[in-house]
Amino acid sequence: MSEEPFKSTGLFKKYTIKNKIFQNREVLRHSYSPRELPHRVDQIDSIAVILAPALQGATPSNILIYGKTGTGKTATVKFVGSELENESSEFSRCRMVHLNCETIDTQYRVLAQIANHISGHDLKPSDRAKNTIPATGWHTDQVYSELKNVLEQAGGLQIIVLDEIDKLVKKSGDDTLYNLTRINSDLKNARVSIIGISNDLTFKDFLDPRVLSSLSEEELVFPPYDAIQLQDILHQRAEMAFLPDSVNEDVIALCAALAAQEHGDARRALDLLRVSGELAERESSEQVLEVHVRRAQENIETDTMSECVQTLPRQGKMVLCSMLLVSSAGQKVFTSGSVINVYRELAKEMDVEPLTHRRVSDLINELNMLGIVTARVVSHGRHGRTTEIYFNSPTNQIRTVVMNDPRLRECSILHPLL
């Protein structure tokens, strides 16, 4: 017996009517690369003057770029890279390979990704298949050797951008950087320059001095945007993203002001404006209003916090659970020492090798950087210094997300959190 043909119920018809808000919402996403970058002219020029010798066949200095999230680091580097690629000729060919080290975080994957990117874009089709490195299975020395072969065949200059380089260093050490900063001595027909991008100044503490001196030949710091600068950025994107008269000045000013409070984060400002528009669209409103911005702020804070907690490694979740346990006992402000004591008890119950005092402190700093807690060093004079910690907002959502981990839920020491 044949099945009846599927008949649509028209579920999506009411959602696909001509919208009254957006004309191109994609320009409000982080992945969009604008052709103009307001308030980043100085940084663009600084990177361009360092890379300019590449157009005369010279190898430019390696660069380390720092700045808080949403200060335009990645967008600026991509913009300068595109301009450099367009200016370069066959005799001084320059290419940029961009890697996100939050996901590509091992030496094998970094080297393989660079080689596969180059072989896919800069080699003749007849040479590409034989230069594809598998996701796993090779020895790292073999991957490095193949990368050198691919670079030699491609020739020219390859600028390797390691975005969130601190994630790579903290997970896999500095062997990858050691090899990449010295690869030019093994090349004859090609050259490599490195640009590292990081939100975290402290990651340099994990580097061997020889690696640091080679990697940080030039250093740039991107300052956060202020509210006026964020308004300019939002105006630029809003003109492309929204239909005429659907967003007024007050909405843009509010989005900019709220993001300026979050360390001048342009990504935050763009997210607020986009989600505000989506909320207005769902209500069939013809305009984005300030009430939509306020609701968007609540939605984003909840979603961001949940995602941060969910993606923490297990040791990070254990440290966070230790903080929650201390806080639930009535200590609204607590010390890193009390957290570490609870953490060690938790590690013992879970039969997990406890981290060192320094590594737990690093995890506390990471939670602070993510905005999950606030950690501040307080001096007690001759009695030394201690780190005081407290949660910025109610912990119900954090507790719910972190206790979804089955192994943590089984721990008797954490039952008060359930």
Which residues contribute to the annotated binding site for ATP?
Answer: 71-75, 225, 237
CA count, 13 A, side-chain hemisphere, 404: 12
d(CA 65, CA 70): 13
Chain centroid, CA 2 distance in Å: 51
In angstroms and rounded to an integer, the radius of gyration of the C-alpha atoms of the chain is 25
- The span from the CA of 300 to the CA of 306, in Å, is 10
Helices (H) and strands (E) in the chain, counts: 17, 8
Token pair listed for 59: 């190898």
Q: Where are the alpha helices (DSSP H) in 216-335?
A: 227-241, 249-261, 266-282, 290-310, 314-328
Backbone angles phi and psi of 411, in degrees to 5: -75, 125
Residues in a beta bridge with 53? none
Structure tokens at 191: 């050259």
Number of residues in the chain: 418
For residue 271 the two structure tokens come to: 């997210």
Structure tokens at 418: 């359930």
Q: Half-sphere exposure (CA, 13 Å, Cβ side) for 86?
A: 6
Which residues are annotated binding-site positions? 71-75, 225, 237
